Amino acid sequence: MQHVDIAIVGGGPVGAALAVGLEGSGLSVVVLEARQQLSAPDPRALALSQGAHLILQRLGVWEAMANRATTIESIHVSQRGGLGSAVLTADDVGASALGYVAEYGDLYAALAARMNNCGATILTGARVTAVKATAGYGMVGYQHNGGEEMLTAGLVVLSEGGKSLPAALREDKDYGQSAVVCTVRTELPHKQRAFERFTPDGPIALLPLGIDYALVWTTPNAQLEGRLALSDAAFLAQLQTAFGDRQGQFLAASRRAAYPLKLALAAASTSPRIVRIGNAAHTLHPVAGQGFNLGLRDAWKLAETLLDTPRQQLGEAAATRRYEKTRQFDIAGGSLMTDILVESFSNDRFLLKHARGAALLLLDLAPPLKTLFARKMMFGAQAW
């Protein structure tokens, strides 16, 4: 049985960011990843906030992917069938960009390359089967190379996503929606502008990616199979009707994929030896693009906490509470904001439609409010 200071369950982007953040700490770190290879053939695009960009710079990751990321200089927010819209720009907050858009695979390749050279032990093909905690250490059981293995750690960090959350530890809300994702080409160039278009069925996001747009189209599950089965021409026609002509005609679409949408929050941990970060702690609706950015801030703050904690106190209650206290406002605020946006804008109620229009108009005409909202998108709770 091996003992390490930190065991990270899940070597995805958030787990990799934590491992890299602990580089040079002198702590023994092992990352257990179920996949045989550190690669991610994932068609999704990620909206990276300005805060995420700064964290990736500090981790030494950004340079490897900078030429594959597209800058967001402005965001146009509107609702279909109702008055009112707002435009947020980088100039509103005195920044060079509101954020960036990158393909998931490019981001993960850069993070995985750094993780492989940060001093952590990386075990690929390690399928975790059990996680337990005692007063003195955490225990991780896993299958590797056909055998059953066990290790102990001062602290076990779960970062592998929703699978790390037993049903009893979850607060779930199923939106009855899925995100249809692909890239689309429009008649007009994007000029680094993103769009968030609210419709009665849910939001449509267009994120500039290269010369195209990454599309995230919220779709009721009852309509999902039909939308995925459409020909490209019929799919683009439906999108045109839902989005409008602000970018001219939709000309082409790549292969489509779909992902279920829900809100999932972990209950407060009852074990100081186990901490959850990223999707293992919270899964958000993609509206406003907060999910990965929230997880990356988890990894950064946990690394800061661990670097300031003596080795013998790594998994003690005081250390885990200190980390959770730094994150509770950001997580609560991000999950509440996205949930309110989905519930308030995903309907066609007469009074709400006019209230939404007034809110968007107020946002557009009130520079201090616009700046505050933009900074919230960029930096999370730190913006307040």
H/E stretch holding 49 reads: strand 45-49
Domain segments of the chain as ranges: 2-75+99-169+266-337
Q: Print burial letters for 141-152: b (CB count within 10 Å at least 16), e (below 16).
A: ebeeeeeebebb
Give residue 383's pLDDT.
46
Query: Which residue has 């039909």 as its token pair?
Result: 226
Query: Which residue has 């689309």 as its token pair?
Result: 184
CATH of domain 2-75+99-169+266-337: 3.50.50.60
Give residue 272's pLDDT.
82
With a cut of 50, which residues of the chain have pLDDT below it? 383-384
Lay out the sheet containing 70-72: strands in order across. 45-49, 99-103, 70-72
Give residue 156's pLDDT.
95
Give residue 357's pLDDT.
83
Report CA-CA distances (Å) from 201 to 204, 233, 297.
9, 21, 30
Give residue 100's pLDDT.
96
Give residue 342's pLDDT.
86
Would you give the end-to-end CA distance of the chain in angstroms? 46
